C-alpha cells in the first residue's frame, strides 16, 4: 500500500490561470522526486498519521485518568512564554507601545493633578474657593 502525500495528490489537479505561471512548488520540472524520495515521504506521512491516531485515541478514552501532554502544545507554549526575550527585537511599533504603556499612565496622572492644582489655585486667587468644598479629584 502506497500512501501519497496531500501535496502531490492536489498538485496533479492544479491548473494555472491562463495568464499566470505555475508556482515552483507545483511545477513538476522543479521537483523531480525519485522513487526513494517518494517512499520516504510516504513513510513520514504514515508515521505521522499513526502518531496522530494514537494521540487522539488516548485523548478521547473515556477511562482516562491521567493528563495527556501534547508535545507540540508544550513547544508552542515555551516559545510563546519562556523564550520571548532572546528572540525579541524592538521595532518602531513595539517601542512606541512600550513607551505608551510604560510612561503613559504617569504622564496622564501628572497632567490630571497639575491641572487640578492649577484650578484650585485659580479659584483661591479669585476668592471663590471654599476649604470645605471639594472639587473634582
What is the distance of C-alpha 125 from the center of its chain? 56
pTM for the complete prediction? 0.38
Q: What is the pLDDT of residue 18?
A: 79
Chain segment 66-100, per-residue pLDDT in tens = 988 888 899 999 888 887 777 778 899 989 999 99
Q: What is the pLDDT of residue 128?
A: 81
Q: What is the mean pLDDT of residues 97-123?
A: 93
% of the chain at pLDDT higher than 90: 37
Is a pLDDT exceeding 60 seen at residue 5?
no
Q: What is the mean pLDDT of residues 52-65?
A: 92
What is the distance of C-alpha 117 from the center of its chain? 45
Give CA–CA dist 135/123, Å, rounded.
10
Chain segment 11-24, per-residue pLDDT in tens = 667 676 778 777 76
DSSP letter assigned to residue 69: P
Please tell me whether residue 28 adopts helix, strand or coil conformation: coil
C-alpha count within 13 angstroms, C-beta hemisphere, residue 54: 8
CA 35, 36, 37, 43 torsion-angle sign: positive
Residue pointed to by grid coordinates 495527556: 68
Give 136's pLDDT tier (boundaries 50, 70, 90).
low
Amino acid at each position: 500500500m502506497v500512501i501519497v502525500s496531500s501535496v502531490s495528490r492536489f498538485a496533479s489537479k492544479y491548473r494555472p490561470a491562463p495568464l499566470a505561471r505555475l508556482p515552483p512548488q507545483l511545477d513538476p520540472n522543479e521537483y523531480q522526486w525519485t522513487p526513494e524520495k517518494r517512499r520516504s515521504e510516504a513513510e513520514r506521512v504514515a508515521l505521522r498519521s499513526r502518531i496522530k491516531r494514537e494521540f487522539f485515541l488516548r485523548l478521547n478514552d473515556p477511562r482516562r485518568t491521567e493528563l495527556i501532554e501534547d508535545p507540540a502544545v508544550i513547544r508552542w507554549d515555551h516559545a510563546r512564554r519562556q523564550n520571548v526575550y532572546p528572540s525579541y527585537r524592538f521595532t518602531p511599533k513595539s517601542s512606541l507601545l512600550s513607551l505608551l504603556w510604560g510612561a503613559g499612565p504617569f504622564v496622564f496622572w501628572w497632567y490630571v493633578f497639575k491641572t487640578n492644582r492649577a484650578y484650585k489655585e485659580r479659584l483661591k486667587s479669585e476668592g471663590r474657593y471654599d476649604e470645605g468644598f471639594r472639587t473634582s479629584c
